[in-house]
Amino acid sequence: MTKIAITGSTGFVGSNIAAVLVKFGHEVVGLGRKSPEVAAGWPINVVDFNDVDSIAGALDGCEAVVHCAIANDFNRLVDDREFAYDAFAGLTQRVTLAANKAGARPILISTDWVMDGTGHRIAETDPGNPVNFYGVLKVLSEQVIRDLAPHNGAICRIAGVMGRHQLAESPRSQDVGFGYFVLSLVEALRTGEPFTVWGGDRVNHVTSPSLAAEIGAQIERVVTRKAAGTFHLVGDEAIERRALASLVCEVFELDASLLRESEPPAEALFPAAVPVDSSLGNELTKARLGIAPQTLRDILTAFKVELETGEIQTLTKPE
């Protein structure tokens, strides 16, 4: 059993990573600014994220720290640049310095939005070329890992994450990325409501979808194999938004005639440009981590089982 710390363990991606690591038999400790309002299935250590020593003390005995925590008030990130920089690059720097001090390996959860959207299934070796401030902040955070933990740090990019929040009610709406796209579609169509697939110039049209729980399983491989470098924890296929909606209807046995198409409402637009095609390739990642082939249908089927049984599902099993 390995002890692994997670920042942002009460968030969407973080709660799935934590739940999978616990299921796989690891000791998980969350790091948070305050005690959570909802009890988690792992302890939460309250730390001062402005203090490297405070973070380092909470990492005692940890093999790794998975850094998931972000500030997701995008309007504030635009309006307050000092806050934005500190919430991403600054916090990543403090977590990484604390990890180095405590002898833990830093693992950063990054994003497909570090890409500019002009390529397709971009390789792990690409350093990124973001088109908006969120992508820039993530690229800066990635560089912190390269600079401060070049031999033991890992950058794990994720994309098109489907799943359900493990500790809280998940939103029932899509965004101009792919966050909660599949879940919101399934929930709408299961109740007989139409679902509008967004399109237009300011929407992320193509991605390489992944399952939040499967990201947790692949993080375990990064930890147990002591892997360093950049990894793309995504499925094997890239797909366009409307095609994904149709495949979801097929796998979940939903009425595709309820699908609609339109541009998103003005209030749902991201306050900047977004990458059109943010799909990531994963060939190097799969070779290094020993991940078996995963079709998009496989991933959707695992998510369907999770929703029907309430039991978190992964395609990759512990080693």
Q: Where are the domains of the chain?
A: 3-309
The predicted structure's pLDDT at residue 170: 75
d(CA 268, CA 278): 19
Each residue's pLDDT tens digit, 86-107: 999 999 999 999 999 999 999 9
The dotted CATH code for 3-309 is 3.40.50.720
The predicted structure's pLDDT at residue 36: 77
Give mean pLDDT, residues 122-127: 98
The predicted structure's pLDDT at residue 16: 97
Q: How many residues are present in the chain?
A: 319
pTM of the model: 0.97
Chain-centre distance for alpha carbon 172 = 18
Each residue's pLDDT tens digit, 128-187: 999 999 999 999 999 999 999 999 999 999 999 999 999 888 776 889 999 889 999 999
d(CA 107, CA 38): 25
Assess contact for 92 and 141: CB atoms under 8 A. Answer: yes
User: What is the DSSP-derived secondary structure letter of residue 224?
Assistant: H
Is the pLDDT at 317 greater than 80, yes or no? Answer: yes
Alpha helices in the chain (DSSP H): 12-23, 52-58, 74-79, 81-85, 91-102, 133-148, 181-190, 212-224, 241-252, 283-289, 296-309
Exposed / middle / buried, residue 134 (Cβ in 10 Å: 0-12, 13-18, 19+): buried
**Reported confidence tier of residue 289, pLDDT bands at 50, 70, 90:** very high
Is the pLDDT at 37 greater than 90, yes or no? Answer: no
Which of these, 65, 2, 71, 72, lies nearest to 30 by C-alpha position? 65
Mean pLDDT computed over every residue of the chain = 96
The predicted structure's pLDDT at residue 172: 65
The predicted structure's pLDDT at residue 306: 97
The predicted structure's pLDDT at residue 58: 97
Integer CA distances (angstroms), 8 to 5, 88, 289, in order = 10, 13, 24
Which of these, 59, 31, 64, 67, lies nearest to 156 by C-alpha position? 67
Please give the share of the chain, as a percent, with pLDDT higher than 90: 92
Is the pLDDT at 1 greater than 90, yes or no? Answer: no
